[in-house]
Amino acid sequence: MDKRIVIGIALIVVVVIALAFAYIFFARSASSVVYVDPKTIQRTVGQDFALNISISNVADLYGWELKLSWNSTILEAVSVTEGPFLKNGGDTFFSPRINNTVGYIMVDCTLLEDVSGVNGNGVLATIQFHVKESGSCLFDLYDTLLLNSAVQELKHTVNDGQFST
């Protein structure tokens, strides 16, 4: 067989293997996103509104926790309720804590049974706010943690939101 043909075949094999490894690496590194929805909200003083904390592209979510902060001079959190996403996997424990003095919430949620985690996209929690004063502020998601059914941390990114009057 001609040397050029052998080298050409070897190069094709190397390129195919490299593409396969790149596909596997990038497909596995696609991470979940925890985000404020809608991303921007505009309301006037005295109005109430709802804000969702949502998740996308998650696999085997068994439990989560997060904090969300805002400017407490402008906004007051009225309530925090569990979204339907994790409930799709079974019974849950949901624990929200509101601190309107500082302007943040802490929320924990986990499945309670020996079941697999939930896959896909959905709403983790809904927060009701009341607009107290004019201004603008960031809805800052931080200290976020996602766990799978093996109690391993899931990679994810976070997208904050914005409020203004």
Q: Which among 60, 55, 39 is positioned nearest to 121, based on CA atoms?
A: 55
The DSSP code sequence of 19-84 is HHHHHHHHHHH--EEEEEESSEEE--TT-EEEEEEEEEEEEEEEEEEEEEE--TTTEEEEEEEE-S
Model confidence over 125-163: pLDDT tens digits? Answer: 999 999 999 999 999 999 999 999 999 999 999 999 999
pTM: 0.81
pLDDT band of 16, cuts 50, 70, 90: low
The DSSP code sequence of 83-99 is -STGGGGS-EEEEEEEE
Give me the percent of the chain exceeding a pLDDT of 90: 82
* Summary mean pLDDT of the chain: 90
Residue 23 has pLDDT above 50, yes or no: no
- Is 26 or 142 the better-scoring residue by pLDDT? 142
Q: Per-residue pLDDT averaged across 100-119, rounded?
A: 96
pLDDT band of 29, cuts 50, 70, 90: very low
Model confidence over 43-62: pLDDT tens digits? Answer: 999 999 999 999 999 999 99
